[in-house]
């Protein structure tokens, strides 16, 4: 890793957002892990691999919605940007098979809709 200097920050664009790409994000802080997020994380990755779908599964910290852990944020083009909560293995599989693969929103596990 090369070292940064003051110059590295000079021409930095305001926000290098990568919003348009598809991703799945799992809250992997202590709260999430305690609720089973690491299993969900693995299930999501395996299922994507199995289905040969190329969507990155990302890690993030606690989004604050402790009551709904584990949380899985799903952003797929042409679909609402959804945070699913109380996700177990079963719901995780549904997220891949229905939401990602067939663009169907899953009943009963939506805990938040994110604005674009």
Partner 1 sequence: MQNQKKIILVKDTNMDKETSSMIDKFLFGLRERGLSEDVKVIRAADLNIYNKGVVVKIWPENITYANVKKDDIDLIIHRTVENGKNIDELLVSETNKQLRIVLRNCGIIDPEKIDDYLDNEGYCALAKVLSEYSPDEVIEQMKISGLRGRGGGGFPTWMKWNFAKAQKEETKYIICNADEGDPGAYMDRSVLEGDPHSVIEGMIIAGYTVGAQKGYLYIRAEYPLAIKRITLAINQAREKGLLGDNILGTDFSFDLDVRLGAGAFVCGEETALIASIEGKRGCPSPRPPYPSVNGLWGKPTIINNVETLANIAPILHNGGDWFASIGTEKSKGTKVFALTGKVNNSSLIEVPMGTTLRDIVYNIGGGVLNNKKIKAVQTGGPSGGVIPENLLDTSIDYENLQRLGSIMGSGGMIVMDEDDCMVDIAKFYLQFCVDESCGKCAPCRIGGKQMLNILSNISEGKGDLEDISSLKRISQALQKASLCGLGQTAPNPVVSTLKHFEEEYIEHINEKICRAKKCSLLSIYEIIEEKCKRCSLCQRSCPVEAINGNREVGFTIDQEKCIKCGKCFEVCKFEAVSL
Q: Does position 71 bind partner 1 by CB under 8 A? A: yes
Q: Does position 21 bind partner 1 by CB under 8 A? A: no
In angstroms, the CA 85 to CA 112 distance is 8
In angstroms, the CA 11 to CA 78 distance is 33
Which residue in 35, 37, 70, 85 binds partner 1 (CB under 8 A)?
85
Backbone angles phi, psi at 26, to 5 degrees: -120, 130
Token look-up 């691999």 returns 49
State the residues that interact with partner 1 by CB under 8 A.
Answer: 1, 3-9, 12, 14-18, 27, 29-31, 33, 58-68, 71, 73, 78, 80, 85-86, 104-113, 115
């Amino acid at each position: 890793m090369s070292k940064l200097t003051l110059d590295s920050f000079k021409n930095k664009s305001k926000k290098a957002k990568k919003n348009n790409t598809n991703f799945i994000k799992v809250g992997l802080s202590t709260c999430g892990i305690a609720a089973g997020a690491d299993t969900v994380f693995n299930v999501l990755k395996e299922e994507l691999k199995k289905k040969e779908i190329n969507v990155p599964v990302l890690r993030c910290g606690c989004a604050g919605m402790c009551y709904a852990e584990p949380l899985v944020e799903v952003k797929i083009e042409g679909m609402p940007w959804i945070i699913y909560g109380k996700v177990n293995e079963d719901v995780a599989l549904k997220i891949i098979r229905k939401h990602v693969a067939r663009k169907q929103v899953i009943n009963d596990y939506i805990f938040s809709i994110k604005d674009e």
